[in-house]
Structure 1
Amino acid sequence: MTTTLLQAPPSSEIHPDPPESATVLTVDDEPSVLNALRRVFRAQGIATLQATSAAEGLVLLKTHRVDLVISDMRMPEMDGARFLELVRNHDESIVRILLTGYADMSSTIAAINKGAIHRYIAKPWDDQDLVLVVREALTRRDLEKKNAELTSLTKRQNEQLRDINQTLESRVVARTAELQQINGMLDAAYEDLDKTFVLAVNVFSSLMEMRGGHPGHARRVADLSRETAKRLKLSERDVRDVYLAALVHDIGTIGFPDTMLKKPVSTYTADEHQRYRRHTIEGETALMALTQLQGVAKIVRQHHERVDGKGFPDGLAGTAITMGARIVAAASDLDELAHGALGELNLSVERVNSMLMGGVGTHYDKAVIEILLKVAEDLAAAAQNDVQIDAHDLRPGMVLARAVLSAKGATLLAAGYMFDERVVKQVTAFAEREGVRLTLWVKGDSLPPDVKRIESSRSES
């Protein structure tokens, strides 16, 4: 019979297999006990080491890998409880079992309470129960060891994942910053390209007007049309199309003979009128090849349509005419009436306004005319604040109030252009290189207080 503080499972249960290569150290000062233990464990395929004293057992612990220690309680020089405490100090993971008799019960309980041993087995023991206890202890130790290894591995992997995540986050941040920088550069490049494109259209418009004999007409119509489109709350893209269409709305007349270009439309002969009525189609054809001018081309084709359907070339009426075309048509007629292009005389502002209002419902859209006349009034008032300065006084941030034209009337810089340091240097260098006094009109609200103004009459540029 065997008595234990912790009862062993019934012998009928299936014995768990110990881990492979498990080693049990048995320590007892009686060789017969050691031999008996060795026979029991050998039959189970469990390797054993034997020591006849605690000191010998400690030596074996230093030279061999041991998974479980079974020690007798009563031994000379050092008892089993103290020995197992030293085993614990050597390697806490080693399973510690104490063999003891009933007379040693108080010492055994003290050893258990101090945490020095896992279990005790009373002498004499039952071989089957002993094997079962050892097998369970070794299996539990193996599971605890694997659990500790998995926990350590999980910890290392979590740390690695954290490092990887931090690295990825850093890379994402860096890549995002790089993409933002690239996008900023692309936006700046696109904006610069778009400005260059608009300036090119301005230059082309001025070249057309040099031949047509009506300098400034397209530019004035473009300014009127753009501001009218903004106040009618058109989209940014539509406002841009209206502005560009106004600059080139008469591109279809580029093939007209000089005699037609230099006289008012009201003085055209019948043949000239017939040719004139085709210029909107020819203008659309000239622009259709450019993808970015598709909307512009449509406005150019329709800018001589009338809201009552009696215009040309397609006889469109009302809202069938694109809003951009309705705006450009009214702005073009306003400027031509004021500057004598439609007739032989320039008309007063009051007369021009009266004629445009009289055309509401037949030629023009009422909403467009009401906004356009207010825009014309506001632009004229704003022009009173324009300031003329010498090119050498030009500073970055100033806004051009009136287009800079070449000697032959070609647009070099469009009105509304904001000067940057590069263009300021180019303008001043040009004036010095050519040895001329170059003056510019800039917006008064963009003029620094220390810049000298040039007093001059306010003639139309």
Structure 2
Amino acid sequence: MFVDDEANILSAMRRLFRGRDFDVVTAGSGREALAYLEANPVDLVVSDMRMPEQTGAELLCIVRQRWPDVMRIILTGYADVNDTMQAINTGEIYRYLLKPWNDDEFVTVVQGALMVKGLRDEKARLEKLVHRQNRELVELNSGLEQKVRERTAELQRTMAQLNSAHESLKKGFVTSIKVFTSLIEMRGGAIAGHSRQVADLARQIARELGLTEMEAQEVMVAGLLHAIGKLGLPDKLIQTPYVQLSAAERAEFEKHPVNAQAALMALEQLQKPAHLIRHHRERYDGKGHPDGLALEQIPLGSRILALANDFFSLQNGTLEERSLGRDDAARAILAQSGKRYDPKVVAAFAKLLGAKPAEPPRAEVAVKSAELKVGMVLARDLSTQGGMLLLARDYALDDRLIEQIHSFERSARQPLPIYIYKTEEPAA
């Protein structure tokens, strides 16, 4: 359901989704939307922020209270950032989109929301099934051993399905974050791939320091989203090297970690990564931002993220007046040990620089979309030529995904760069 008080906007949304596999309904006001929801099931509500009588934030808050399973997206302008943050907090908004929107981004976000909705529904269905079967097991006669064995086998199959759905939900969550990262980097002045490079190095350092896999995952997610707070900054602050900014411009730029935390704190799964992002501009000597923390006061994940971010920023020219080579950037990091960076984080980073891969990388091969088959596994992230992520690396392809790839190529009128893991040929 699309909700907007402007008929031309609703018409534009209908045109955008015409021919796609969606049932679209529209409403010209919050009151009309609520009346429709009273009588009809809806999976996703996309509402404009500014509407007379009832704002989009108020509408989505009511939707959350009365129909909590309905996904919620809000459309907003740059001037409504504060109201949008409040809407995210009170209405538990899945995502927000800026007006005017990018068509491809709009479609991708809607598809992502519906994918998450489907996984949640399937997980709830399986959990309900497991609870029901558990009750039936308790009621079985202890003497019916064969029946108990049959029911136990059925329960194990159901649990396997539940675990599979849970893993799919986690994988979909990480993939959604990667897609959102690609959208962040499409903002003017962004360096393609920077966030993913930072996330990968930060996770390696976290593992080297002995953090648990869950903690390393949180550091990686923080790396993917650490630049989200820059979305509200003027282009000049993003495109100018940090050392060339004036004092006033630096003060404005240094707000982006706090803005990032505010944007993410309503999402329970992202609260810990949001905390790490807030403090990734702190310095080990206490001269950083936003809170002037020092030494062990700074979360370890933030200390890791600070080093990883600066290492690649030195190389892409967003930190200093000129871009440094990889070796020079590493030397600059080492020189700041005990000042800007935690010495033990620097030591782990230095060890990784000289480390050899534990195992040779899996062989990969480039293929055309017409050659794709069910069961093939992506060896690289599948992205458009503009850098937008479509599918994450290690995704196993099925009929539905292969058809979506074909459909995207037809609509874009250009082939996608596809790499899959090479499989061993069977012996003759």
Please tell me the TM-score bracket, short chain as reference.
0.5 to 0.7
Given residue 413 of structure 1, which amino acid in structure 2 is its aligned partner?
L
Q: CA deviation at 1:351?
A: 0.7
Distance 1:341 1:249 in 2: 15
1:158-177 counterparts in 2 under 5 A? 165-167=142-144, 169-177=145-153
**Contact 2:199-2:224 at 8 Å conserved across structures:** yes
Partner residue of 1:302 out of 279, 284, 305? 279
1:404 is matched with 382
In the alignment, structure 1 residue 279 sits paired with structure 2 residue 238: no
Shift in CA distance, 379/428, structure 1 to aligned 2, threshold 3 Å: farther
The superposition leaves residues 216-270 of structure 1 with CA deviations (integer Å, 9 ceiling, x where unpaired) of 1101111111222223222222122111100111211110011212221121122
**Contact 2:380-2:394 at 8 Å conserved across structures:** no
Given residue 342 of structure 1, which amino acid in structure 2 is its aligned partner?
L
Unaligned runs of 5+ in 2: 1-139
Q: Match of 2:186, SS?
A: helix
Q: CA deviation at 1:203?
A: 1.2
In the alignment, structure 1 residue 438 sits paired with structure 2 residue 413: no
Q: Match of 1:211, SS?
A: coil
Q: What TM-score do you get using the length of structure 2 for normalisation?
A: 0.60
In the alignment, structure 1 residue 189 sits paired with structure 2 residue 165: yes
Unaligned runs of 5+ in 1: 1-162, 452-461
Q: CA deviation at 1:431?
A: 6.7
In the alignment, structure 1 residue 207 sits paired with structure 2 residue 183: yes
Distance 2:363 2:353 in 1: 16
1:57-456 counterparts in 2 under 5 A? 165-167=142-144, 169-213=145-189, 214-375=191-352, 387-392=364-369, 393-394=371-372, 400-414=378-392, 416-422=393-399, 425-426=402-403, 429-430=406-407, 433-434=410-411, 436-442=414-420, 446-449=421-424
CA RMSD of aligned residues (A): 3.0
Distance 1:243 1:357 in 2: 22
Shift in CA distance, 374/426, structure 1 to aligned 2, threshold 3 Å: farther
Q: CA deviation at 1:374?
A: 4.4
**Contact 1:395-1:419 at 8 Å conserved across structures:** no
Shift in CA distance, 381/409, structure 1 to aligned 2, threshold 3 Å: farther
The superposition leaves residues 119-169 of structure 1 with CA deviations (integer Å, 9 ceiling, x where unpaired) of xxxxxxxxxxxxxxxxxxxxxxxxxxxxxxxxxxxxxxxxxxxx95331x3
Q: What TM-score do you get using the length of structure 1 for normalisation?
A: 0.56
Shift in CA distance, 397/277, structure 1 to aligned 2, threshold 3 Å: same
Shift in CA distance, 380/339, structure 1 to aligned 2, threshold 3 Å: farther
Shift in CA distance, 246/382, structure 1 to aligned 2, threshold 3 Å: farther
**Contact 2:218-2:272 at 8 Å conserved across structures:** yes
Distance 1:224 1:412 in 2: 22
Distance 1:426 1:228 in 2: 38
Shift in CA distance, 352/394, structure 1 to aligned 2, threshold 3 Å: farther
Shift in CA distance, 371/385, structure 1 to aligned 2, threshold 3 Å: farther
**Contact 1:280-1:301 at 8 Å conserved across structures:** yes
Shift in CA distance, 377/386, structure 1 to aligned 2, threshold 3 Å: farther
Shift in CA distance, 292/432, structure 1 to aligned 2, threshold 3 Å: closer
- How many residues align? The count is 284
**Contact 2:385-2:416 at 8 Å conserved across structures:** no
Distance 2:157 2:374 in 1: 24
Given residue 193 of structure 1, which amino acid in structure 2 is its aligned partner?
L
Distance 1:221 1:271 in 2: 27
Given residue 166 of structure 1, which amino acid in structure 2 is its aligned partner?
G
The superposition leaves residues 82-105 of structure 1 with CA deviations (integer Å, 9 ceiling, x where unpaired) of xxxxxxxxxxxxxxxxxxxxxxxx
Given residue 320 of structure 2, which amino acid in structure 1 is its aligned partner?
G
**Contact 2:265-2:274 at 8 Å conserved across structures:** yes
Q: CA deviation at 1:345?
A: 2.0
Q: CA deviation at 1:410?
A: 1.8
Q: Match of 1:166, SS?
A: coil
Q: CA deviation at 1:448?
A: 2.1
Q: CA deviation at 1:289?
A: 0.3
Q: CA deviation at 1:399?
A: 5.2
Q: CA deviation at 1:437?
A: 3.2
